[in-house]
Amino acid sequence: MTGAASSRRARGLGRTAALVALVVALVGTGTGTGWALWTASAEAPARTILAKVDLELESSSPRAVDYTAPGQSFTTAITVFNGSTVPVDYRLTAAAGTTGAVSRELSERVDVRVWPTTTASCDSDVPAGSPGGTWASPPVAAGSAPASSRVTWCWRSTAASSAPDGVTVNPVFEVSGGSHGWTDWASIEDFYQNTRYTTAAPTTPTARALSCRTVDTGDGTSYATVSWDAPVDSDQWGIFVGGRRVGNTVSGQAPTKSHDVTRDMVPASLVPDGRVTVDVRSVAGAEPGPVAWTGAVVVGPSASGQRQVSCA
């Protein structure tokens, strides 16, 4: 009996040893996700576990940003999603993309810092000791993620004072990792950072000179007639004396347009005696346009003491 019992025990142990061996069979899914069958037993009925390794990258940060001045910073939140059924060790990296009109020089002149966050927010200051580099030689973020979990990393980039203007860098993020020998990877490649320091200021056309003619009224006083050449039906024009609009809107077919400046347009209560600026501006819009023509008249008493206007 003892020998028989030992023999049965030996046979049982042999079967157990055969089951303890790890059997891994890859099941192709066509998605890049690694699926595996892990079968194991130890003095218990055999059981089979279906596991997968699945990594994704997520980000709601703007895909394109403009540095408008050296020293400006932007923060990109990159989330590693471990959709695996097992914990995964991962490595999150960045690189400067080379597709399209990108600048190697800019990638070397953008300072980059990276740190993990538990709040999915990257508004904080860069923690002390955070890994750093540039987009040309970026830092690396690595860690472990439990099954079906997310880990967010903040990438703070700052344009150096030597960063060139009018160029682009394309940061590309990639995660890779796995478990039990099976790996997966994912990337985001559509981030672009531009330098746009030079903003052309709106140009104001140089005002041209008005023509002026003094007209005698016949009663010992005078008024001034100002004129300017404008394209036919080009616009509606207004006269401004001393910065205040006076008279009527001028338009029409004649290429040479004119308007009188009389003494009642320049009352002494508003316009003191002396030289006064006369401007012509477009009044076609809701607000007057820039000064297109400019000149001057003289306001003062005539020989008989009456107020009059004459060309300067």
CATH 2.60.40.10 domain range(s) in the chain: 54-195, 208-311
Angstrom distance (rounded) from CA 69 to CA 100:
23
CATH topology for 208-311?
A: Immunoglobulin-like (2.60.40)
Angstrom distance (rounded) from CA 52 to CA 47:
17
Give tens-digit pLDDT for 123-149. Answer: 889 999 999 999 999 999 999 999 999
What sign for the dihedral angle of Cα 112, 114, 120, 125?
negative
**In degrees, to the nearest 5, what angle opens at C-alpha 84 toward C-alphas 176 and 118?**
75
Task: Please name the residue that has the structure tokens 């967010």.
Answer: 152
Query: Could you write out the three-class secondary structure of the chain?
Result: CHHHHHHHHHHHHHHHHHHHCCEEEECCCCCCCEEEEEEECCCCCCEEEEEEECEEEECCCCCEEEECCCCCEEEEEEEEEECCCCCEEEEEEEEECCCCCCCHHHHHCEEEEEEEECCCCCCCCCCCCCCEEECCCCCCEEEEECCCEEEEEEEEEEECCCCCCCCEECEEEEEEEEECCEEEEEEECCCEEEECCCCCCCCCCCCEECEEEEEECCCCCEEEEEEEECCCCCCCEEEEECCEEEEEEECCCCCEEEEEECHHHCCCCCCCCEEEEEEEEECCCCCCCCEEEEEEEEEEECCCCCEEEEEC
What region, left, alpha or beta, does residue 53 occupy, with left being phi > 0 and alpha being psi -120 to 50 degrees?
beta
Architecture of domain 54-195: Sandwich (2.60)
pLDDT for the residue 235: 72
| Greater model confidence, 234 or 15 | 234
Q: Are 77 and 154 in contact (CB under 8 A)?
A: yes
Give tens-digit pLDDT for 250-283. Answer: 876 667 889 999 999 998 888 899 999 999 998 8
pLDDT for the residue 101: 79
pLDDT band at 14 (very low <50, low <70, confident <90, very high): very low
pTM over 0.75: no
Give tens-digit pLDDT for 184-216. Answer: 999 999 999 999 997 666 666 788 999 999 999
